[in-house]
Structure 1
Amino acid sequence: MSNDTSVASPVSASGPVFRVDKFAVPAEARQAFIAQMQRIQQTLRNLPGCLRAHVLDQTGGGSEFNVLTLVEWSSEQAVASATELVKKKFAEEGFDPVEFTKKAGVLSDQGFYRIA
């Protein structure tokens, strides 16, 4: 598990790329964490190549992960472009996603996926 909430490049292939980030968020940090993830997802939705971006809050089941973000990108190129834009935006805002999740006591499991 890592606390890296940045966008990173996936392994090379063609077609849509999915970024799935699962988070174990303590109850006391959940509202603020979800609000921040929604802000980030709104930014991503406005970037070229973003097909969809969602923040999901667990309502049932037994997983340790209770918040999930899902972003579908049209291509690896879109992911690479978004990575640079998001890094720049975070730097301008003084926002450090790793520090944010660490301070909130959040654990994460993140990765890129393709349709099987």
Structure 2
Amino acid sequence: MPRSTNAIVRVDKFDVPATARDSFIARVGETHAILDTLDGCLENLVLEQVAGDGVFNIVTVVKWRDEAAYEAARETMRARREASGFNPQKTFAELGIRADLGNYRIVPIAAAPDD
């Protein structure tokens, strides 16, 4: 299946203490419900680690059609946070959440030839 190399994939990884999990998941759920409605949102996942030795126990992955769709969504969410007074960095500090946030592009990899 061909993959668009124009897509932007936002991958946010969080180390969330057990005491903050429920409130964090509730906030993430609200955010991702909005993202699902925005133009260009192709995939929207919230993942929780159930096995393994990783540091990050919650990961979100949102695939956007292209840079323009991502930037429009980013602006929409910035305006919503500003209007509501929500400050993610302050909330993370208060709840003891560590975050690793980044944008990625899909790396085209040629399919292996049939043996």
TM over 0.5: yes
Q: Shorter-normalised TM-score: what interval?
A: 0.7 to 0.9
Separation in structure 2 between the aligned mates of residue 102 and residue 46 of structure 1, nearest angstrom: 29
Q: Is 1:51 the equivalent of 2:23?
A: no
2:63 to 72, 83, 86: 72
Tell me the SS of whatever aligns to 2:60.
strand
Deviations 1:8-56 (A, max 9, x none): xxxxxx5111000000000100111111111111111111111111111
Greater CA drift, 17-26 or 45-54: 45-54
Q: Name the larger-Rg structure.
A: 2
Gaps in structure 2 of 5+ consecutive residues: 108-115
User: d(CA) in 2 for partners of 1:103 and 1:34?
Assistant: 15
Structure 1 unmatched runs, 5+: 1-13
Divergent runs of 4+, >3 A: none
Please tell me the root mean square deviation across aligned C-alpha atoms, in Å.
1.0
The TM-score, its normalising length taken from structure 1, stands at: 0.85
Separation of aligned partners in 2, 1:24 and 1:50: 25
| Residue correspondences, number | 103
